[in-house]
Structure 1
Amino acid sequence: MTRFPHDQFAKDYLKELLTPLGQVQTSRNIAGEVREIDVWFTPSSTLTSEAQALGLLGRFATTPSIFEPFRNAVTSSQVRSCISKLFDVHADIERQAKRENTRLNESELPKLWILTPTASPLLLDEFRAINDRESWLPGVYFLGEGLKTAIVAIHQLPRTPETLWLRILGKGKVQKQAINELTALPEDNPLRINALELLYSLRVTLEANQNLDSEDRELIMELSPLYLERLDAAVQSGVELGIEQGIEQGIQQGIQRGIQQGIQRGIQQGERLVVENMLRVRFGVLDDELRSIIEPLLELPPEEFTQLLMQLSRNELLDGFRR
């Protein structure tokens, strides 16, 4: 029951981190039977400062890549399924090059990075997955070169800043430690801000689920203080802005009435900030269409509009609230 919120979080998270480096597509359909690739990434340039800031994840992103993140330990069947999708993608790219009569280099074919919270020695041995310790960190295991596939065992990655952005996708103690490291980063760090917003959204989604396992309950508890601080900050910012505006009006209408109006306006402004941030996190941009439904959303109680923002798609939100 709880797999899907974590899947969506992983897709949104990787998309948020990788977008500055190139083109990112999530849930992309592939030819043949209906199947989806979780995250398809195409770099826009060579290694940049943004890629370096992502450490090991940025190093993965120096070439065309397919990312398949798993919440639970990947199975042999799931590894084979991922490789099958990769080969379908390769075949599609090769057919397109043939139709266009263009030469295709091996380096243009995407690599597959299977991100799993844990990987047993038995599974790694089944696929002859090997860690090249001279060139890569522990936890990164490569299959045969022609397969263009690696299994990343997140629990084996060293606890260093270089692996932080991958360990956020871990589980249990590994994820908890990574979240603590994330919150310790400077508050103006844009990667920190974006990652925390996505974690807050994950918390809201999990909290709405009635069938939580112990790890998800612990994750909610871990994120709750940070989430409440975020809401308090948004409301406080709105209150302060509202009081300033209310006092200016209160010069003419009376200080007391102005302060009361300012506080009310501040609460509304705080809720508006929460809605705007959640729309940005869900859909990547706050365009005119999404702005047009903010007022109708704010007419609902906070717990109701929060649940709708996390559960409905863009089209469902636009169709429902335009009416």
Structure 2
Amino acid sequence: MSRTLFDQFAKQFFEAFLSPLGEVKTNFEVPGEPRFIDIWFSPSNQPSVNTEELGVLASIATLPCLFEPFRNQPNSSEVRSCLYKLFHVIADFQRQAKREEETVSEDELPRLWIITPSASDDLLAKACAVQSEDWLTGIYFLPKVLRTAIIAVNQLPRTPETLWLRIFGKGVIQKQAINEVIGFDVDDPRRSTILKLLATWKISIEASNLVEQEDRELIMTLSQAYLEWEQETQRRGIEQGQRQVVENLLKARFGELDQQLVEIIEPILQLPPQEYAALLLQLSSLQRQELLRRFS
């Protein structure tokens, strides 16, 4: 159950944050095999967001890739299972290119990213995974022919560019990442998105009948994110209500809202509470040009 809920969170996370950069498919079936890839990503030629905001995650998402996030360190068998899926995807990728009479270089082939909260020296040695000078500490690459990397979240430097990977850590690592997100400006859409996903994860765990000790510790870690999300939801509800009041009063006073009136709604909502309340009382007697001069 714990693994299933983590998988659900991971899939929602990558859908939310990588969709602006390209196509994201979850539970993507391996061609010709009864196996599924957790997350399959195919980049877009024209991303719809500033990629710098996603840090290392954006650097990873420049090529087609498979994401396989683990809540606990994978064993050798699980790593082989991930590689098995990668090889089938690469084979299908090359067959499709051949059908379309296109040439695909080795560096353009899909890559596998195994995300794990930690990676022991034994696991890295068995996988022949080594650090690359071109990537941050904590990202290990298997031999080039395998097109695979292991991300040990607990070894990543604590910097803004690693934040969206450190969310997949455990214990203190994950708690630090969540606190960094909470510290974002309340109007930052990334803050709202991740808090909603973390809150949903917490609710799902609590709603399950099998809550283990590790789950209880995770619930404690997610509690602050849940409270922040709850407060933000309430705040947005209040703001939406205030916006609706202003829109209704403007419509009642001037008829349908044109572009000029729409543009002054936000400045009105930014007024201090006392000025905002006073304006609402005066609105029925204010002239259109007077109102536009004040807030345009």
Q: TM class, shorter-chain normalised?
A: 0.7 to 0.9
Residues of 1 paired with 2:25 and 2:33: CA distance?
19
Residues of 1 paired with 2:140 and 2:21: CA distance?
24
Residues of 1 paired with 2:134 and 2:88: CA distance?
29
Aligned to 1:10: 10
Q: Deviations over 1:94-117 (max 9, x none)?
A: 222233333223233111110011
Residues of 1 paired with 2:236 and 2:195: CA distance?
18
CA shift for structure 1 position 182: 1.2
Aligned to 1:191: 190
Residues of 2 paired with 1:102 and 1:193: CA distance?
41
- Seen in structure 2, the aligned counterparts of structure 1 residues 68 and 225 have a Cα distance that, compared at 3 Å, is closer
Aligned to 1:107: 107
Residues of 1 paired with 2:85 and 2:97: CA distance?
19
C-alpha contact 2:178 2:225 (8 A) present in aligned 1: no
Aligned to 2:256: none
1:93 aligned counterpart, secondary structure:
helix
Q: Deviations over 1:34-63 (max 9, x none)?
A: 111111111113788622211111111111
Does 2:193 match 1:181?
no
Does 2:83 match 1:83?
yes
CA shift for structure 1 position 76: 0.8
- Seen in structure 2, the aligned counterparts of structure 1 residues 204 and 46 have a Cα distance that, compared at 3 Å, is same
Q: Deviations over 1:179-235 (max 9, x none)?
A: 111111211221121111100110110111222222321222233344244335534
In structure 2, stretches of 5+ residues that fail to align are: 249-296
- Seen in structure 2, the aligned counterparts of structure 1 residues 67 and 236 have a Cα distance that, compared at 3 Å, is closer
CA shift for structure 1 position 171: 1.3
Question: Given residue 131 of structure 2, which amino acid in structure 1 is its aligned partner?
Answer: N
Aligned to 1:74: 74
In structure 1, stretches of 5+ residues that fail to align are: 249-323
Aligned to 1:118: 118
Let me know the Cα RMSD of the aligned residues. Answer: 2.4
Question: Given residue 18 of structure 1, which amino acid in structure 2 is its aligned partner?
Answer: L
Q: Report the number of matched residues.
A: 246
Question: Given residue 152 of structure 2, which amino acid in structure 1 is its aligned partner?
Answer: A
Aligned to 1:158: 157
- Give TM-score scaled by structure 2 length: 0.76
User: Superposition pairs for residues 19-168 of structure 1, below 5 Å?
Assistant: 19-45=19-45, 50-132=50-132, 134-168=133-167
Aligned to 2:258: none
C-alpha contact 1:22 1:43 (8 A) present in aligned 2: yes
Residues of 2 paired with 1:71 and 1:217: CA distance?
15
C-alpha contact 1:2 1:206 (8 A) present in aligned 2: yes
Q: Deviations over 1:148-169 (max 9, x none)?
A: 1001111111111111100001
Residues of 2 paired with 1:56 and 1:209: CA distance?
33
User: Superposition pairs for residues 201-280 of structure 1, below 5 Å?
Assistant: 201-235=200-234, 238=237, 241=241
C-alpha contact 2:199 2:226 (8 A) present in aligned 1: yes
C-alpha contact 1:69 1:116 (8 A) present in aligned 2: yes
Sequence identity percentage = 50
Give the stretch that moved more between structures: 73-82 or 50-59.
50-59
Give the stretch that moved more between structures: 136-145 or 30-39.
30-39
- Seen in structure 2, the aligned counterparts of structure 1 residues 239 and 140 have a Cα distance that, compared at 3 Å, is closer
Question: Given residue 78 of structure 2, which amino acid in structure 1 is its aligned partner?
Answer: Q
- Seen in structure 2, the aligned counterparts of structure 1 residues 222 and 32 have a Cα distance that, compared at 3 Å, is same
Question: Given residue 197 of structure 1, which amino acid in structure 2 is its aligned partner?
Answer: K
- Seen in structure 2, the aligned counterparts of structure 1 residues 236 and 56 have a Cα distance that, compared at 3 Å, is closer
Residues of 2 paired with 1:218 and 1:131: CA distance?
31
C-alpha contact 2:195 2:228 (8 A) present in aligned 1: no
C-alpha contact 1:141 1:152 (8 A) present in aligned 2: yes
- Give TM-score scaled by structure 1 length: 0.70
